[in-house]
Amino acid sequence: SEACGLQRGDRVTAILPRVPEWWLLNVACMRAGIVFIPGTSQLTAKDISYRLQASKAKCIITNDTLAPAVESVLPGSQFLKSKLIVGQGSRDGWLNLKELLAAASADHQCVKSRSQDPMLIYFTSGTTGFPKMAVHSHSSYGIGFATTGRYWMNLTPSDIMWNTSDTGWVKAAWGSLFAPWICGSCVFVHNMPQFKPEVIAKTLSRYPITAFCTAPTAFRMLVQHDVSSYKFPSLKHCVTGGEALNPEVLVKWKIQTGLDIHEGYGQSETVTICANTKGMKIKPGSLGKALPPYDVQVRGCVSLTIRYFLEMFDCFQDNPEKTAASVRGDFYLTGDRGIMDEEGYVWFVGRADDIINSAGYRIGPFEVESALIEHPAVSDVAVVSSPDPERGEVVKAFIVLAPAFKSHDPEKLIHELQQHVKKVTAPYKYPRKVEFVQDLPKTTTGKIQRNVLKNKEWGRA
């Protein structure tokens, strides 16, 4: 920290792929009282500029690949004091982490951080507006994953945990850092620059990985690849989160591997809120039950709220209005909609601003997406509202076709897909409009940006 001109309380932005140095830097910042701000390596120069300005970070850490993007925005980054590069070689104006470590003294004293000192800041993408900064303190965030690791991820000191999350996503803190280390588990890391189902399958076959976490979209790609021919000799427990898991994917994974997928739910502002824990009856499509210490309630029919506990973010930095809007008395409003059954299982309906109200029927896009993804013609799908003179708004599906169906007659295929949805779910939920697209807009963490499609549909793009 001295070589970088940093002091306790300063902020550092780190934009790195899945390399060992990312773990080292996390611990180093905690010990030095420096606030760590992770970012995905998919960030553009514009993204980096915004984050540097908003966070007032005094140091940025990245690799040689992203360094040019950082240099392109330096004229507008008046708070930045130092630049640190990870990897081989040197770059003008940049410090090299390997060289600094070689010259560092072994005599180091940890800063005695106070419980409410900030430790981590995560930029949350959301569905509208610029990303907000969720601040987590030393006292709450790390230890908050004790129940996550033990009960949802089923981790013990003899387990090896592989979480495929990009280091810029909050799930990396969950499954690649705090939860396994608190449980004494080994962390498995694969650089994996691009997600390829065959690489995932071969890795699970080759190494003694016992616990595996990846996104629902990745599980969908794996079952489409068909992993039934592979053997995963050590794998015992699979978890997923970040977006809702299609029931069809859960069923296919069970058929192909013999394993369940334990879905969990949380946000950048929280630790794990709901989860399907080991030994619990899994209801396909459900997020499971509230995980201690959270008290999860459904208010105003479908608004998910949780009692505010220590294991929560402190605030949205420099945004008191957003913080105030999210906290009501003892409760935190997630901004998500869901329902709870008589056994306490929570079911995700959708983001509050994603709900489609068509002729008085309230339709969650995820339900329609889940129905469509069961059809072999659908490779990927996003559902949003579309204006309609009679019904106010109707369901519209943007569909990426599987290669084998791209030559089919579009009108016949649309009719077939509409009929399919009517059979799989309530008929009123079927997409009255369908558009075939080459790809879908997604955040850097891989979540579908329904708001981008919705804004185009409503002429707000």
Let me know: does 348 contact 354? Beta carbons within 8 Å.
no
CA distances, 37 to each of 2, 25, 63, 246, 456 (Å): 19, 11, 15, 31, 32
For residue 313, name the pLDDT band (cuts at 50, 70, 90): low
- Residue 175 is given by DSSP the state I
Same domain (yes/no): 396, 447: yes
In this prediction, residues 42-57 reach a mean pLDDT of: 88
Q: With respect to residue 6, please indicate whether it lies within any of the assigned structural domains.
A: no
**DSSP run (H or E) holding 338:** strand 331-340
Which of 350, 381, 405 is where one domain is finished?
350
- Would you say residue 186 lies in a domain? yes
Mean pLDDT for the stretch of residues 423-437: 91
416 domain residue, yes or no: yes
Kindly state whether residues 393 and 405 are assigned to the same domain.
Answer: yes
Domain boundary among 330, 350, 370: 350
**pLDDT tens digits for range 168-227:** 888 999 999 999 999 999 999 999 888 889 999 999 999 999 999 998 888 988 998 999
Name the least confident of 34-38, 121-125, 133-137, 233-237: 121-125
**Average pLDDT score over the chain:** 88
Residues 154 and 302 in one domain: yes
Q: What is the pLDDT of residue 281?
A: 96
Query: Does any domain span residue 401?
Result: yes
Q: What is the CATH number of the domain that holds 303?
A: 3.40.50.12780
For residues 334 and 331, give the distance between their C-alpha atoms in angstroms, rounded to a whole number: 9
Pair 448, 341 in one domain: no
The C-alpha atoms of residue 88 and residue 90 are separated, in whole angstroms, by 7
The residue out of 350, 366, 383 marking a domain boundary is: 350
- Judge contact between 17 and 193, C-beta under 8 A: yes
Q: Is 293 left (phi over 0), alpha (psi -120 to 50) or beta?
A: alpha
Do 147 and 237 belong together in one domain?
yes
296 domain residue, yes or no: yes
- 125 within a domain of the structure (yes/no): no
Asked if the model's pLDDT at residue 392 lies above 90, the reply is no
| Residues 202 and 76 reside in one and the same domain | no
Q: How confident is the model at residue 324 (pLDDT cuts 50, 70, 90)?
A: low
The whole-number pLDDT of residue 127 equals 43
The count of structural domains within the chain is 3
Structural domain contains residue 108: yes
- Based on the domain organization, do 227 and 267 belong to the same domain? yes
Per-residue pLDDT band for 394 (boundaries 50, 70, 90) equals: very high
226 domain residue, yes or no = yes
211, burial (CB in 10 Å: exposed 0-12, middle 13-18, buried 19+): buried
Q: Which residues contact 384 (CB under 8 A, 6 or more apart)?
A: 354, 356, 365, 396, 398, 450, 453, 454, 457
> What CATH number is given to the structural domain containing 94?
3.40.50.980
Contact call for residues 223 and 244 (beta carbons, < 8 A): no
Q: Are 340 and 406 within one domain? A: no
Same domain, 38 and 76: yes
Residues 243-250, mean pLDDT to the nearest whole number: 87
26 and 102 both lie in a single domain: yes
- Which amino acid would we find at residue 258? G
242 and 358 share one domain: no
Per-residue exposure over 92-105, b if at least 16 CB sit within 10 Å of its own CB, e if not: eebbbbeeeeeeee
Q: How far is CA 183 from the centre of its chain?
A: 22
Number of Cα atoms under 13 Å in the Cβ half of residue 41: 20
Per the structure, the complete domain to which residue 386 belongs is given by: 354-457
pLDDT digits (tens, 9 = 90+) for 216-242: 888 988 998 999 999 999 999 999 998
d(CA 381, CA 441): 11
Which CATH number do you get for residue 432? 3.30.300.30
147 & 42 share domain? no
